[in-house]
Amino acid sequence: MRAGWVGVAVAFGVAAGLITTGCGPVAGHSGGGSAPLTSPAASPSGSAPATSAPATPSASPSPSGPPPAEVLAPGMSGAAVRAAQQRLVALRYYPGAVDGRFGADTEEAVWAFQEAQGLPVTGTIGAATRHALADPRSPAVLVPAGGSTRVEVHLASHFLVLYVGGQVRLVSHVSTGGGYYYCSPAGGCGYAITPTGDFRTTAFMPGWVTVPLGEMYNPVFFIGTAFAIHGDTYVPLGPVSHGCVRIPMDIAQFFHSLVPTPGTPVYIRNA
C-alpha cells in the first residue's frame, strides 16, 4: 500500500540509518523498514383577589419534567457509573473493571468515546455524552478497504481504532507527536512528529523497553524499532510524545495480543 510522503521519508531514513529520532531505535536492533472516540412553575399561577375576603391559595404548580440527570465524573461511584461502564464495554471501549467506580481507566475510555463521537472532551458524562452513549455513531473509517484486521490512528482527534475480522474490536485514546524540536541522546535532532502513511507492524517487545528517549511498555513497532504503539504512564489529552503512539497502560497490557505481528496494517492520518 502506498504510504504518505512523510511516512515514506521516515521509513527510508530509519532503514538507511540516517534517522535516529523517533521513540527508538531500540539498542541492539536494526531500524528495518516498514511496509508502507422560566420553569413554568417558577412563579405562582395567580395572586390573591384585591378584596378584604381571604384569598384562595393557589394550587402548587407541577414540575415541567424530571430533574436533569447527574453528571458522572471521576471519583464517583454507584449504579449509574456501572451502567456507563457496561455501555462503554458494549461499544468496544475499555473502562477497566466494571465495578461502578469512576477511576482513571473509565475516564480515559470516556475521553476516547468523546473523541470518536466529535464531542467536547471533558472526561465526564453529562447530557450530550449520555445521549451519544444511547445513540452512538460508528467511529469514522479512514481506510475502508484497508484489511479486515488493521489499526487506524486518528492524529487530529487523538484516538485509534483496532478492527479485527472487519469489526471494531477496540477504540482507545492516544497521545502522539507533540511537534516540538528535540535532540536525541543517541544523536540527531528533529521535530516530534508522528509520521502519516500506510505501515505494517514489524515487531513486538514485551514489558518495559529502554530506548534513548526513555521507556516504552509492550511496544508494537510499525517502523523498524523506531516508532511504535506503546503503553506509557503519561497519556494526556494533548499530543506530547516524540513521535510514537502512546496508549494508556491498562490497554497496553493486552493490545499486542489483539494485533498479529508482524504484518498488521497500521494507517495513520491527520484526521
Taking a C-beta distance cutoff of 8 angstroms, is the pair 162, 170 a contact?
yes
Q: If one looks up domain 79-134 in CATH, what number appears?
A: 1.10.101.10
> In terms of CATH, what superfamily is 5-26+146-269?
L,D-transpeptidase catalytic domain-like (2.40.440.10)
**Mean pLDDT (whole number) for 263-268:** 98
**pLDDT at position 271:** 94
Q: What percent of the chain has pLDDT over 70?
A: 76
* Per-residue confidence (pLDDT) for residue 33, from 0 to 100: 46
**According to the model, what pLDDT value does residue 12 have?**
38
Q: Per-residue pLDDT tens for 171-219?
A: 999 999 999 999 999 889 999 999 999 999 999 999 999 999 999 999 9
Which residue stretches of the chain are H helix? Answer: 5-16, 79-90, 104-117, 127-134, 249-252, 255-258
Chain segment 75-96, per-residue pLDDT in tens:
999 999 999 999 999 999 999 9
Residue 174: how many other CB atoms lie within 10 Å: 26
Domain ranges of the chain: 5-26+146-269, 79-134
Q: Report percent pLDDT > 90 for the chain.
A: 72
pLDDT value of position 69:
80
Q: Which residue has the cell 502522539?
A: 176
Cβ–Cβ < 8 Å for 197, 7: yes
Choice between 23 and 65, residue whose per-residue pLDDT is larger: 23
CA distance 5 to 116: 26
What is the structure's pLDDT at 28? Answer: 57
How does pLDDT run across 134-164, given as a tens digit for each residue? 999 999 999 999 999 999 999 999 999 999 9
